[in-house]
Chains A and B, each alone.
Chain A
Amino acid sequence: MSLDRRNFFKTIGIAGIAIAGIQSAKASSTEESKIEFRGMLYDSARCVGCQECERACALAHDLPEPQDEVKVGVVRKTSETQRCVINNYNTSKGEVFVRNQCMHCNEPACAAACLTQAMYKTKEGPVIWRGDKCMGCRYCMVSCPFDVPKFEYHSANPKIQKCDMCYDRIVKGEKPSCAEACPGEAIVFGTRRELIAEARKRMAESPGTYVDQIYGENVAGGTGYLYLSTAPFNEVGFNPKIQNSSYPALSKGFLYSVPTVFVLLPTLLLGIHEATKNNQPKDEEND
């Protein structure tokens, strides 16, 4: 796809609008700050593993309907054709269903990694993938601690597949399709703050049912997807290595050193160059 004339003008136009947009963005920023991160709460005590959410997800995103059924002890993984999966784990507390999909981190490693902002944390909360920006470098996949983004390796025009929390529906004021499809309120959609309150309420109302932790409240710096589980989280497929602080913070130190190096190193080099200039006989002074 070359940059033809029409696209070129479009780009120029967008750049112009962007510059003009800065002004209007300032005016509306007070309004935007009221928007809170939306998220989802998954409750393993209410999930019966019916896979309705999987089917609704496939339907909503033009993906093939999942054929494989949930079996105890078999870990199915999300893939380039399946954005979410339900698994049945054999745990110390018996069989437990747990869903797996993008966590929609508050500070997503994938979005920090993306050099074109194709992976993008929207102000509404979902982390979305934008095909018109993505160059397919897969650095988001390297960086994501949850291994969420999936790449279509067998396509000449590959896409990254991952849950986008049905961003297009959220913007329209609708619920994500999985939350709508869930018959047992195992998946609830709302603002992250409401969901944490709801999770606490459920924990308080049925003591002893849940593990005393809301997964996602702190992990990886906080995620938009929150979990209540009846079994310890390391028994239901969650990677215990994942840290509680944000992942983009890991490369912050390096990135912050860049401007310092960029200013000081050339100065130092120029200084040495000047200092060594007169050390040599005149005829060798060249280049």
Chain B
Amino acid sequence: MTSPAYAIAKDNDGRSIWRFLISELRPKGKWLTPFNIISIPIILLGLGLIVIRFAQGIGSVTNLTQETPWGIWIGFDVVTGVAFAGGAYVLTFMVYILKMNKYHSIVRITVLNGFLAYVFYAGALLLDLGRPWNVINPIIGNSFGTSSVLFLVAWHFMLYMLAELIEFSPAIAEWLGARRAHKVLSGMTIAAVIFGITLSTLHQSGLGALYLMAKDKIHPLWYSEFIPVLFLVSSIFAGLSMVIFEGTISHKVFSDQISKENHQAGKGILHGLSKICAGAMFAYFFLQLLVFIHGKNWNLLNTPMGYWFLLEMIGFVLIPMLLFFYSYRTNNIFMIRLAAILTMLGIILNRLNVTVIGFRWDAAIHYIPTWMEIVVTLAVIFTEIWIFRWIINRMPVLRESPKWANELK
């Protein structure tokens, strides 16, 4: 941002930028909310575990083995977390490329959600790196492993975070009262959106492509050469279900920030999203069916893993898809939310089935995460929510932009 100081002086009662920032750092509102009481001890415990992990090695807090080198820190935090962050690229596509203005009011919060998800869940990757001090190697170019899918994914994560930061930056400029920066940054939005959608297409599928070489290790019901396509298509409704879920909570928790107009538009938005989810899920279900038939794995269906597969496909893809269709026809908001939650569970199930549960399903000792891995994961999620809340309480994310920002356009 280019020297916003003078604008701040104007917009924030003549206070200097530092005083303004320090005053903003202070918590707003009550301290002892139920969320804080649960999250603070978990975050502190998680921090302690992270210290142990760096002092004594990854094995001191995780159950990872030589056969299962990636656990829930990758399978859940990164692979599942990034799928849920897919809402940002889908919504920016709808609003900025297709000009579906109906969804404009939720773009900012979705982009913020996506950005923080990438920062935290891709950041959680650092915890899983055995030699994190070498993480600069693939960035600064003294060692480009260009044949690696992970190289592509890592670069795309970084570039996409930048794209999302640019997409979100007008809100920061409005918070700081930086008018000139606001104008420049708003002008970059469309380029960031196009760049961001392209990056998302490639790394959402890339996360699936990571597992292509593990052909003999993943259960055949979940392994196919189409994993990248399946991951990409499922990230569409995974992201949108997250938008529905997060919107439901935000509308309750931050209801004082949302204008009456947007409150009323909320139903229409949910309605529209449920239609898109239903369509995307139909395509996904059909693809899964084709892949299954193509794989000739009928005999595997009548095994415990086969029932597990059917549960995922019917219970958490087909049923929520029908629920989305039904609620879209009947305009039932409760059903939309239920369908979104079922869909999200289905995505968690699917990503874990590929990365953890179906990975080395035949091993003598199967990897089961330790309580410490789960606590660290929860600590990451809670910290993200803390930052999310901090930003929403300060920047115009849910609330309307200041008047000057609209006048500039």
Is B350 in contact with chain A by the CB < 8 A criterion?
no
Contact B66 A248 (CB under 8 A): no
Contacts of B93 in A (CB 8 A): 269
Is A115 in contact with chain B by the CB < 8 A criterion?
yes
Contact B99 A109 (CB under 8 A): no
Q: Do A132 and B150 contact each other (CB < 8 Å), given the known contacts A79-B66, A142-B69, A254-B206?
A: no
- Give chain B interface residues in 113-139, CB to chain A under 8 Å: 125, 128-138
Contacts of A1 in B (CB 8 A): 133
Contact A135 B129 (CB under 8 A): yes
Contact A251 B215 (CB under 8 A): no
Contacts of B67 in A (CB 8 A): 147
| Stretch of A54-62, A196-204, A238-246 that contacts chain B | A238-246
What's the minimum C-beta distance from B352 to chain A, rounded to whole angstroms?
A: 15
Is A158 in contact with chain B by the CB < 8 A criterion?
yes
Is A233 in contact with chain B by the CB < 8 A criterion?
no
Cα A2 to Cα B132 in complex, Å, equals 11
Is B386 in contact with chain A by the CB < 8 A criterion?
no
Contact A276 B98 (CB under 8 A): yes
What's the minimum C-beta distance from B184 to chain A, rounded to whole angstroms?
A: 14
Contact A255 B137 (CB under 8 A): no
Cα A198 to Cα B214 in complex, Å, equals 33
- What is the chain B residue whose CB lies nearest that of A153? B59
Is B151 in contact with chain A by the CB < 8 A criterion?
yes
Contacts of B197 in A (CB 8 A): 265, 269
Contact B148 A114 (CB under 8 A): yes
Total chain B interface residues with beta-carbon distance under 8 A = 68
Cα A6 to Cα B251 in complex, Å, equals 53
Is A3 in contact with chain B by the CB < 8 A criterion?
yes
Contact A117 B70 (CB under 8 A): no
Contacts of A11 in B (CB 8 A): 140, 142
Is B49 in contact with chain A by the CB < 8 A criterion?
no
Contacts of B216 in A (CB 8 A): 145, 239, 241-243
Contact A142 B211 (CB under 8 A): yes
Is B55 in contact with chain A by the CB < 8 A criterion?
yes
Contact B215 A145 (CB under 8 A): yes
Q: Do A251 and B58 contact each other (CB < 8 Å), given the known contacts A79-B66, A142-B69, A272-B98?
A: no
Is A286 in contact with chain B by the CB < 8 A criterion?
yes
Cα A153 to Cα B61 in complex, Å, equals 10
Contacts of B205 in A (CB 8 A): 254
Is B392 in contact with chain A by the CB < 8 A criterion?
no
Contact A266 B194 (CB under 8 A): yes
Is B327 in contact with chain A by the CB < 8 A criterion?
no
B residues with CB within 8 A of A: 54-60, 62, 64, 66-67, 69-70, 93, 96-99, 101, 125, 128-138, 140-145, 147-152, 154, 186, 189-190, 193-195, 197-198, 201-202, 205-206, 209-217, 225, 228, 409
What are 15 residue pairs bridging A and B, where the CB atoms are less than 8 Å apart in the complex?
Answer: A2-B133, A15-B141, A113-B148, A116-B137, A135-B133, A135-B135, A135-B138, A141-B69, A142-B217, A143-B213, A153-B62, A158-B57, A251-B212, A254-B149, A276-B97
Nearest 4 A-B pairs (CB), nearest first? A136-B130, A153-B59, A115-B151, A136-B131
